[in-house]
Amino acid sequence: MVHVLETGLEFLAHENPNGKPSVQGYNIINGQLTSASDGGTFTSINPAILNDTLGSFPLSTKADVHAALDAAHAAFPGWAATPAPTRGQIIGNMGRLLMDHKDAIVALETREIGKTLKEAAGSVQEAIDTCLFFQSEGRRLYGQTVNSELPDKELFTYRRPLGVCGIINACNFPAAVPFWKMIPAIMCGNTCVWKSPQDAPLLSFALARIMHEAGLPNGVINLVHGKGSGAGQHLVDAVDEGRVNKISFTGSTEVGKMIGEVCGRNLVSCSLELGGKNPLVVMPSADLDNAVEGAYWGAFGTAGQRCTSLGNLIIHEEVYDDFMAKFMAKVESTRIGDSLVHDGVLYGPMLSEKYAKDFLSAVEMCKASGATLAHGRGRISSDNKPANFLSTAEDGVYMWPHVFTDVTEDMECFHEEVFGPAVTICKATDFDHALHLANASPYGLSSAIYTNDRLEAYRYKTGIKAGMTGINNSTTGAEAHLPFGGVKGSGNGTRESGIWVIEAYSYWHAVNDELSGKLQLAQMDVEDVEMAEADVDWTQLA
Active site residues: 307
CA distance 371 to 311: 14
Where are the extended beta strands (E) located within 258-386?
269-273, 278-282, 310-316, 372-375
Burial of 17 (0-12, 13-18, 19+ CB in 10 A): exposed
Which residues does 438 contact at the CB level (< 8 Å), separation at least 6?
279, 281, 312, 314, 447, 460, 464
CA distance 359 to 277: 14
Q: Beta strands 153-161 and 144-146: pairing type?
A: antiparallel
CA distance 111 to 113: 6
Q: 79-117 as b/e, with b when 16 or more CB fall inside 10 Å? A: bbebebeebbebbbbbbebbeebbeebbebbbbbbbbbb
Local structure of residue 513 (DSSP, 8 states): E
Number of Cβ within a 10 Å radius of residue 261: 12
Tell which residue, 188, 186, 89, 81, has the closest CA to residue 136: 89
CA distance 434 to 275: 21
Instruction: Report whether 465 contacts 488 (CB < 8 A).
Output: yes
User: Strand order in 470-471's β-sheet?
Assistant: 372-375, 402-405, 422-428, 310-316, 278-282, 448-450, 470-471
Tell which residue, 114, 104, 173, 47, has the closest CA to residue 345: 114
Amino acid at 265: R
Burial of 408 (0-12, 13-18, 19+ CB in 10 A): middle
- Decide: helix, strand or coil at residue 391: coil
- Decide: helix, strand or coil at residue 158: strand
Give the angle 407-305-383 at the CA atoms, nearest 5°.
80
CA distance 280 to 299: 10
Burial of 459 (0-12, 13-18, 19+ CB in 10 A): middle
Which residues does 258 contact at the CB level (< 8 Å), separation at least 6?
236
154 beta partners: 513
CA distance 5 to 210: 9
